[in-house]
Amino acid sequence: MEDSSAAQAHQEEPQGPLVTALIVSHNSGEALRRCVAALEASEGRDRMEILVVDQGSRDGSAAVDEGFPGITPLRLPKHFGMTKARNIGVRTAKGEFLLFLAPEVTVKPDTAMRLAERMQSEPGLALSAPRLTGENGQPLPQIAPLPDAASLSAWVRSRVPWQTAETGGRVGTLSSRALMVRRQTIVGMNYFDERFGEYWSDIEMCYRVSRGGKHATVFPDLSVTDSGEPARPASWGPALEADWRLGGIAFAGKHLGMGAQIGLYLNALLGALGSAGGFGAFSRILSSQKVDGTEQFD
């Protein structure tokens, strides 16, 4: 009788969250509040944890929990880069699945739980995403082939072959503006590699997942709205441009060999001189200065 009571009590213990929605913000303002409000209205909200990692915002974004007391805010003093911020969030997260979201993305009520259910039913599925659409409902680019020795130079020159996900099926690289992954996948990778700063850690995650025999999928019957415009090279400034190029160089060194890395490094230096970032980007590449909290972004 006592064993039966103990078993019943164990079954009635509250479960931890199934999903952790993880948002990294910086001066995101109203977009962040819209993102969180949409998550709060999600089906299965009682099985969702919402984490907001703020990177030294000066526009009030860091105080988003004042309007949404059910979320967990993590306030960083500076903009340390997406890689470090996400690692801090992942180490805090309790959910089995992580839903990475850009602050400009708003989900529908069923987005998070339906993605998690599909991943539960398909063990080989390591990464999944809803289709990204703009405010006009049109699909936005979110998938690309995995970078390789032949294409990496173009990637580093910001000529990434992004495409829209018109149909479902397996894909190579997935945008992390709206992306679900098993938390254990990140833990098994020993978290994101902090040799990357703002960029490339998510691209490397897709690469490692594929090389590990797992796959990534977009589900076009699920969609989210992305009201943001990802920064283009001309608007990055020297720090972000250099960080992007350095990320590609680090990726080459890890996965494509020293020869590819050296060639890419020399091309990146020459390319920076003729780019919008100019000598500022060139000097940061020369000194391997990724985004790491030493600069202030507006």
The domain that contains 61 carries what CATH number? 3.90.550.10
* Single-letter amino acid code for the residue at 66: E
Please check whether residues 39 and 180 belong to one and the same domain: yes
What are the residues facing 141 on neighbouring strands?
A: 164
**Cα(26)–Cα(146) distance, rounded to whole angstroms?**
28
**Cα(52)–Cα(20) distance, rounded to whole angstroms?**
10
Please check whether residues 128 and 252 belong to one and the same domain: no
Please check whether residues 159 and 217 belong to one and the same domain: yes
**Cα(81)–Cα(246) distance, rounded to whole angstroms?**
13
Q: How many domains does the chain have?
A: 2
Residue 7 lies in a domain: no
Please check whether residues 159 and 271 belong to one and the same domain: no
Chain centre distance of CA 266: 28
Question: Which pLDDT score, from 0 to 100, does residue 60 have?
Answer: 86
Question: Which pLDDT score, from 0 to 100, does residue 1 have?
Answer: 45
Domain that holds residue 147: 19-226
* CA distances for 159 relative to 53, 201, 253, angstroms: 29, 18, 20
Please check whether residues 199 and 280 belong to one and the same domain: no
Along the 298 residues of the chain, how does pLDDT read in single tens digits? 445 555 554 455 557 899 999 999 999 989 999 999 999 999 999 999 999 999 999 888 888 989 999 999 999 999 999 999 999 999 999 999 999 999 999 999 999 999 999 999 999 999 999 999 999 999 999 999 999 999 999 999 888 899 998 777 789 999 999 999 999 999 999 999 999 999 999 999 999 999 999 999 999 999 999 998 665 655 678 999 999 999 999 999 999 999 899 999 998 998 888 887 788 999 999 999 999 998 877 7
Phi-psi region for residue 211, left (φ > 0), alpha (ψ -120 to 50) or beta?
A: alpha
Please check whether residues 246 and 183 belong to one and the same domain: no
Please check whether residues 205 and 247 belong to one and the same domain: no
Please check whether residues 199 and 267 belong to one and the same domain: no
**Cα(86)–Cα(52) distance, rounded to whole angstroms?**
10
Please check whether residues 64 and 117 belong to one and the same domain: yes
Q: Are strands 215-226 and 125-133 parallel, antiparallel or unpaired?
A: parallel
pTM beyond 0.85: the answer is yes
Closest of 252, 225, 274, 283 to residue 37, by C-alpha:
225
Please check whether residues 208 and 253 belong to one and the same domain: no
Please check whether residues 238 and 106 belong to one and the same domain: no
